[in-house]
């Protein structure tokens, strides 16, 4: 039986324990597989709401629950995988051409996103039907 490729990859970020408070680092030395071109974070997501619901044509992203927790469902048009992020030293790498939805945010959750490219609206695929068509045209499942 062939081993299926996972849709995302958890990356352990360097964590330095200290009685005064722990330090976690996200840089090219600590496992981020691309130069960081943009950083943003999502906060104050109301209960029951979701974020994401899109894919990128070229941008790669790293997502980190720097506070609280949330779930990320990745979808390649054939298969879905859900990751529960809850530790600030664990990051999820989301490659290009993968649909993502973020949900189940805990109270006070903060989602940090490190992106490989600056914001470009043309890089986004925001409708799921358009995403399925993109996959069909690009054979990237």
Q: Which of the following is catalytic: 3, 54, 56, 84?
A: 54
| Whole-number CA gyration radius for the chain | 15
Query: Any catalytic annotation for residue 139?
Result: no
Active site residues: 54
């Amino acid at each position: 039986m062939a081993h299926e490729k996972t849709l995302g990859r958890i990356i352990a970020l360097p964590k330095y324990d200290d009685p005064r408070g722990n330090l976690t680092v996200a840089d090219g030395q600590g496992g981020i597989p691309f130069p960081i071109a943009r950083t943003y974070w999502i906060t104050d997501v109301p209960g029951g709401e979701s974020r994401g619901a899109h894919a990128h044509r070229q941008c790669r992203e790293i997502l980190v629950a720097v506070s609280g927790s949330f779930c990320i469902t990745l979808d390649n048009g054939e298969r879905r995988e859900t990751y529960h992020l809850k530790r600030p030293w664990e990051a999820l790498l989301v490659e290009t051409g993968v649909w993502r939805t973020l949900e189940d945010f805990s109270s006070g959750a903060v989602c940090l996103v490190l992106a490989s490219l600056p914001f470009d609206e043309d890089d986004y695929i925001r409708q799921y039907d358009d995403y399925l068509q993109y996959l069909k045209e690009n054979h990237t499942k």
